[in-house]
Amino acid sequence: MDHFERELARMMRDAQEHTPFEPAQQNGLRAGVRARRRVRAAQKAAGCVLVAAGISVGLFLLPHAPDRDRPLGPAPRPATTPVSPYATPSPTPTESATATTEDTAGVSGPPGTSTTTESPASGSTGPGDGGTATTGAPPTTEPATSSGTPTSSTSSPPPSGPGPSSSGTSAG
C-alpha cells in the first residue's frame, strides 16, 4: 500500500460523520418491514390461490377424463377384433383365392379330379360361373348327378352342352 492508497483510506475514514439513528429513520425502517411483510403475504396468498385453482381445475377435468376415455375404452375390442378379422379373412382370401383359382381352373379344365368333386356343389348353388350348367342343368343335372354323369356335364358345358340352353344363358 503506497502513500496515495494510505491517504485515500484516511480520507474515507475521516469523511465519516456521526449520524444518529433518528426516529424518522426508525419509522421508515418499520414501514419498510411492514411493506415487505405485506408483499410476502400477498405473494404467499397468490401462490395459494394459484395452487387451489390448479387443483380445482385438475379435479374438474379428472371426472371427465374417464368418460372421454370410455368410448375409446373398448380398446380391447379393437385389439381383439383386428385379430379375428385378420385371422378369418386371411384364411378366406386364401380359400377364395384358391376357390377362384380352382373355379377358373375348373372352367379351364386341366386339374380334373378336384374340379369334378367341387363342381356338383357349385353347380347346385351358384349361378356364378357355370351358367350353362345351372340354367339348363339343375333339374336335369341333379338326376344326372344321381345318375353319376355330372362330370361330363360340368367339364364340357361349352362345346357339348345342349344348344338352346347354352345360347339362352349366354344371351341372358
Which residues lie near another protein (CB under 8 A)? 3-5, 7-9, 11-21, 25-26, 28-29, 32-33, 36
Q: 61 is written with which cell numbers? A: 377435468
Residue 44 Cβ vs another protein, minimum distance, rounded to whole Å: 13
Name the residue nearer to another protein (CB basis): 16 or 146: 16
Name the residue nearer to another protein (CB basis): 13 or 70: 13
With CA atoms as reference, report the closest residue to 129 among 93, 158, 159: 158
Residue 40 Cβ vs another protein, minimum distance, rounded to whole Å: 8
Q: What is the 3-state secondary structure (H, E, C) of 73-115?
A: CCCHHHHHCCHHHHHCCCHHHHHHHHHHHHHHHHHHCCCHHHH
Q: 72 is written with which cell numbers? A: 375409446
Q: 44 is written with which cell numbers? A: 404467499
Name the residue nearer to another protein (CB basis): 3 or 77: 3
Residue 61 Cβ vs another protein, minimum distance, rounded to whole Å: 38
